[in-house]
Structure formats: structure tokens, C-alpha cells
Structure 1
Amino acid sequence: MTTIQQPAAPQQRTYGNWRRGERPGLFGLGPVGTGLAFAVMVCATGTLVVSQWLALAIAVGGMVMLLPLAVRFHGRTGAQIIAGHVVWQLGRARRRHVYLTGMASPVSLSHRLPGILARSLLFEVETGLREPLGVVVIPQSRHYTVALRCQTEGMELVDQPVLDQRVGRMAAWLSACCREPMLEQAQITVETTPDQGAALAAEIAQTTVPNAPAAAKKVLADIIRTYPVGAAQVDTWVSLTFKPPTRGRWTHEAVCAEIATRLPSLIAGLHGAGASVVTPMAAADLALTVSSAYDPVTAARPGVRPAPGWDAAGPVAAQESWDRYRHDSGVSRTWGMVEAPRGSVYSSAFSRLTDPDPTLLRKRVAIIYRPYTPAAAAALVERDRRDALFTAGKKRQATARDTVDILAAEQAAHEEATGAGVTRFTVLVTATVADADILDEAEARLMARAGEARLTLRCMYRSQAAAFAATLPTGVVLPVHATIPF
């Protein structure tokens, strides 16, 4: 009698080991706050020989000054929150939250982009590829950004080993980004919009001959009427932001030429990570994409919309509120990642978050990576390892989270030593609706989808305009433009 053993089902891979970089210190103050606390104690002790009341005043004043640095809410100190309120109120008093262009505007007659992108420029470069390349330049931060439009293959009817291979090649691509000398940021954005059937109707009208059979015309008319129901358009961009070295005279032409030489290898690395076709976005495509984000209702109307110039890609009017951003025909709200999913996740963790939502005019999910150089990564993982050991050692009894943190730091140090790259990453989600009254309903649905991925999101209060611009393929690096340091 022969026994045939069935092969075991392949085990699905899991991913994780994300760590939030925090420096240890006394009472949660961090290194800088701890140094200030020691300085206050030394000053108070030194003045005891002069006056006890003076020493007491220094000690009390130091405690009042350091208390906002010790208290944290959602990863931010009390001092940062207080400073944010003050800066926001000063900006409102100076009317900086309102933007108006056109004939009645004191700012600009043309419809330029607002806020961080107000001084941005757009160049078009011939790279030797099939399409010209649009380069967005932000002069105040010396950032040059190129955008790549990707046709993704999706996850439907794809075997799990193929998905694991795509994730591995994506990790190899991110590791290659860490070795790009001028690369500051890599951003992957997935935008979904309800498809009104305009493109399908235009294609059918263009290809239908006048003497076509009546039955064929009736079938095509039924397709135009029924196909757009429940359909959605999905666009995926990869934005690469470069910054030239401070040494040397780097002109715009020199930087664009340098980027063009590095782009083919970065494009080749995306092909195995789930992108079947990768096309550099030209200047007209970039301007039309940005303009459609600020005026979504006009962009969704049937017909071919001409691409505006970069000076006309902005909104006619925009107003930033505490938790929303009104721009032309839409109202948007942007959320940022507070905490990455704990533990291990599967390759489909963010799939529900990026799925189309027919009730929204537009939705953008942007995953932003800021790679470390190999030298900085080596120093970082060793520092994190020492910090994790110090945090656990200063407690009488280490918690389970301390133990897990030590294991994660040890694994990160081992993987970096064997050639892996280290990147910082965050997630921004922008939802655009036609009426502000349904923003809360849209937020409830998005929070439910984020909960399925165990991703903690929080509204970007007082920063809605900047966060909205950061989800576009324009290369906005938020920490560089932040008024208050993180």
C-alpha cells in the first residue's frame, strides 16, 4: 500500500520591523532636553552659596521651561504644539491662509500654484528616451523632481510567489535609491478617481464609422451608458527628488542633465516591482495633473482638456482651514501616518487603503521614502541599537515593547551590515470631495480602511495646504519647509 503525501501549502511571507527613531533621555526629554535639565541643575546648585531664593527661582523656572518638552501628544512635544498654534494664529492674522489669483488678486494675475510651490519652475528636458522629461524645480530648497507614470499590473489572479518577488525587487530598488548620491526623496502615489466614461465615449466616437450597423451602434451605446457605473481610473506616479551638492556651480541645465543620466537605471529597477510600463511625465502632463488636483470637477467633465502652462496650473482661489483645504471646485482633507503597523503585515496590507472610493472626487495615497546614505545608515542602526539597550537598561524591569525594540534594532543592524538599505518613510492620504459636509463621512470610511491595515492616521491640522501639495508629483519635502522642527 502506497501513501501519497500532499505537498504543504506555501507559507505567505510577512514584512515589518519598522522602528520609530527616538533618542532616549531623562523623563522623555531627549538628548537636548536632558542637557538643558543638567544645565539648570548645575546653575541652581551653584547659586545656593549666593542665595537660596535665587536657586529656587532658577529651579522652578527651569521646570516650567522643560515641562512642555517632556509632555508628548501623538509623537510631538508640548512645545511644538504650542509653537504650532502661535504660528497658525499669526498666519491667519496676516491673511496667509487665503489665496486669490486673477484680476482682483494682489498676489498674481496668473493662476500660479500657492504656498510652497509659489516659486516653483517647470523645465522640459530631452533625455534621449521616447518622451521628454518634465523637471519641477523648487528654488528655496534646491530640489529638482521628476515624475514617472507607471502602469501597474495589480494583484488580481497573481500567484503569491510572484507577489513576493515583486516585494523583493521593490526592496532592491529602495536599496539602490540609498546609493544615489543626489536623491533626497522617492514618493509613490496612487490616485483614484471615479470614471465618468468620458475617455471611453470619446474613443468609441472616434473609432465608429458613420455607416456602421444599427445593432453595433446600439451595443456600443449600451456600453457607454453602463460601463462607467462602478468603474474608476487609477493613476500611479513615482516622484524622484534630487538635490545637487553645495560645492560647485550647478546650473539648472547641469542638474537636469545629471538627472537624465541616472534615470534609466532607476526606471529599469521599477519594472520588476509590479510596474509593466514606466513613462517619464512631460511638462504638459505634469501641469495637467497638478491642475486637475486643484480643480477636480472641471477635470472630470467630458471632453479633452488642454494642458495649462505651469503659471496657470494653480487654483483661482484657495482657503486653508484648521482641518480642511478648499480649492476651486473641491474640498480636501489630508491625513498623515502617526504610527506604522505593529508586528508583521502581508504584501497586501495597503491594498484596501488604495482601493477606489466612488463617493470621492479624488483620493491620493502617497508613500514617501527618504533614504539614508550607506555611511549614515551604518551610524544610525548602531546608534538605535545602543539607544534601545539604554532605554531598556535604565528601567527596573524592561517591558515587552522594550524587548521587541531591542530585537528589531539588532535585526536592522544585522541586515544593514549585510548590504540592506535604510529609509525613513511615511504615508499621506488626501481625500477630495465636492461638499465639505461629507468630509466627516469620507474620513470615517478612510479610517476604517486604515484600521484594516493597522495603520494609524491623524489629520494634518494647521498644515492642510502643505500636506495637499506634498501628495502631488512635485517633490515637496515637508521637513525641509517646516517652520517648527520635528
Structure 2
Amino acid sequence: MRAASRQIRTAGGGIRGAAAVLRQEMSTLIAALRSADLSPSSWLTCGEIAVILRSAYDPAVAATLERHGELGQSLATAGPVAVNESWSRLRTDSAFHAVLWISEWPRSMVYPGFLAPLLLSTGTQRSFSLLCTPMRSDQAARDIRKKKTEYISDAAQRQRIGQIEDASQTAEFHDVLQQEADLTAGHGVLRYTGLVSVSARTADDLDAAVAAIEQAAIQASCETRLLVGQQAQAFTAAALPLCRVV
């Protein structure tokens, strides 16, 4: 609400003005998705959000909530009864959870379905979230200039000591130049964050599921890292439809 304070005041101020601004943003987003030839579903109702929250923290009851449409529709009781966070996992009502961060995306050209091994492997309960954070144009330009300066300095240093430039360094520099060209042409720059939340009934089952997901990520040409020390915060961003920035 602080970021949109001017628009909220124009719309009447307070919660009523914030709701009006939010509805306008929702309509703008729907129009943008449709102009990109995407077909968005309808917005989630309060009851649907409550069911998703309850199912994420208590997977054992998810099937019951799905069969009986009237159960679990209250946001007041949608949260977990208990949460226990440890260094490498999170325990909630009926499950153990662990969140993995995709720390390395493919370095070479891949086909559109390259994430299929990670998303479609059977026997493991998981949620995948891809967060696309827009960067301000001036911030993106500064970041690109910094990367170019670092590359040129490193290249000069390698030439001075007689080292040969390898293909990965050349590819990274070409990628920076492409980002600069896209930004100059008026396109936005996005920062991508991929999170995978893995759930299981017991701690041993969770360890086996995490190992399976890590292997599937390797097959998808990705590298994952367990977000130790921040599992509760990571679970909120990875498994819940709350659009949390990480």
C-alpha cells in the first residue's frame, strides 16, 4: 500500500481506495495476459484460497476437501494448527516439507518442455513456483554496465597473463550484450526465481523425495540448492498462492 499510496489517495483513500486500485490492477493484468494470447482462469475466491492454504499445510485432508466442496472454505481456519521449522525442513499438521531453490538454469539452448523431468515425475508430491520480478530500467541498465565492465576487466587481465578465454565466458558476455540490446529496444528485464516445495508424510520419505527431485533437476539441466535456515519463509513463497517476493 505504501508503493501505491498516491493512486490510493486518488481513489478515495483507505481500504476502499486500496481495493479500487487493486481491482484496476487486476483488470490491467487480465487484459495484458489476453493480449499475449494467454487464457487466464478466473480469480480465486476467498473459499478457494482457504482450501489451497489448508491443503498445503495439511496434505492428508486435501482429498477430503476436494470431494466436499463446502468444507474448508473459511480463511479464519485455513492456516496450520502447528508449524515446526528446523534447519533443513518444515513440519506442519500432517507432512514434512523441504524447499529447493533452482540456483542454476540451463546454460545452453533447451526445448520448451525442458522442465518435464522436474514437474512430471511420479511418486513425489511437489509444488513449483516461478517468480518473475521486473527490474526498473535504470537499475537494469546499471547492472548490465557493471557486468560489461567486469567482463572487459577480466578479459584484459586474462590477456595480460596469457590465459585463453573459454566458450562459457564468451557466451556470458554475448548474453549481457543481448540483454543490453533488448533493454535499448524497450523490452523489460526480469529476474527469475524458481522454487520447488517437496512434501512427504515422514522425514525419511521426505529425504527420498528431495533426492529424487534433485536428480530430476539434473535431468532438466538445472542445479538446485536446499534453502537451509529459511524453510518457513521459502515455503510461503513456493507452495502458497500469495505472490511473495523472495
- For normalisation by structure 2, the TM-score amounts to 0.85
From 345, 366, 369, the counterpart of 2:132: 369
1:469 aligns with 2:240: no
Quote the residue 1:296 is aligned against. 59
Quote the residue 2:185 is aligned against. 418
Task: For 1:378, give the aligned amino acid.
Answer: A
The DSSP-based 3-state class of the residue aligned with 1:411 is: helix
From 45, 64, 77, the counterpart of 1:282: 45
- 1:302-350 deviation digits (Å, cap 9, x = unpaired): 4335234333211111111121111001111110122121122221111
From 78, 82, 94, the counterpart of 1:317: 82
From 141, 152, 156, the counterpart of 1:393: 156
Asked if 1 retains the 8 angstrom alpha-carbon contact of 2:8 and 2:14, the reply is: no
Asked if 2 retains the 8 angstrom alpha-carbon contact of 1:385 and 1:413, the reply is: no
From 244, 253, 256, the counterpart of 2:16: 253
Distance in 2 separating the partners of 1:274 and 1:435: 42
Larger RCO, structures 1/2 (Cα 8 Å, 6+ apart): 2
Quote the residue 2:29 is aligned against. 266
In structure 2, the CA distance between the partners of 1:274 and 1:413, relative to structure 1 (3 Å rule), is same
The DSSP-based 3-state class of the residue aligned with 1:278 is: coil
Instruction: Describe how 1:51-450 pairs up with structure 2 within 5 A.
Output: 243-245=3-5, 251-271=14-34, 275-301=38-64, 302-355=67-120, 357=122, 359-360=123-124, 362-395=125-158, 396=161, 397=163, 399-400=165-166, 401-450=168-217
Percent sequence identity is 28
The offset of 1:352, in angstroms, is: 2.6
In structure 2, the CA distance between the partners of 1:268 and 1:374, relative to structure 1 (3 Å rule), is same
> Any gaps of 5 or more consecutive residues in structure 2?
none
The DSSP-based 3-state class of the residue aligned with 2:133 is: strand
The DSSP-based 3-state class of the residue aligned with 1:298 is: helix
Task: For 2:193, give the aligned amino acid.
Answer: T
Task: For 2:152, give the aligned amino acid.
Answer: L
Task: For 1:264, give the aligned amino acid.
Answer: S
In structure 2, the CA distance between the partners of 1:261 and 1:386, relative to structure 1 (3 Å rule), is same
Task: For 2:204, give the aligned amino acid.
Answer: D
Q: How many equivalent pairs are there?
A: 236
Task: For 1:310, give the aligned amino acid.
Answer: L
Distance in 2 separating the partners of 1:461 and 1:314: 23
> Any gaps of 5 or more consecutive residues in structure 1?
1-141, 144-242, 479-486
The DSSP-based 3-state class of the residue aligned with 1:349 is: coil
In structure 2, the CA distance between the partners of 1:390 and 1:245, relative to structure 1 (3 Å rule), is farther
Asked if 1 retains the 8 angstrom alpha-carbon contact of 2:55 and 2:61, the reply is: yes
The offset of 1:246, in angstroms, is: 7.8
Distance in 2 separating the partners of 1:274 and 1:351: 22
Asked if 1 retains the 8 angstrom alpha-carbon contact of 2:131 and 2:245, the reply is: no
Distance in 2 separating the partners of 1:425 and 1:328: 31
- CA radius of gyration, larger in: 1
Asked if 2 retains the 8 angstrom alpha-carbon contact of 1:341 and 1:455, the reply is: yes
- In angstroms, what is the RMSD of aligned CA positions? 2.4
Distance in 2 separating the partners of 1:417 and 1:394: 29
Distance in 1 separating the partners of 2:50 and 2:98: 22
Distance in 1 separating the partners of 2:133 and 2:198: 24
The DSSP-based 3-state class of the residue aligned with 1:431 is: strand
- 1:142-171 deviation digits (Å, cap 9, x = unpaired): 58xxxxxxxxxxxxxxxxxxxxxxxxxxxx
Asked if 1 retains the 8 angstrom alpha-carbon contact of 2:8 and 2:18, the reply is: no
The offset of 1:273, in angstroms, is: 5.8
Distance in 2 separating the partners of 1:323 and 1:430: 12
The offset of 1:470, in angstroms, is: 0.7
Distance in 2 separating the partners of 1:375 and 1:259: 26
Distance in 1 separating the partners of 2:165 and 2:56: 46
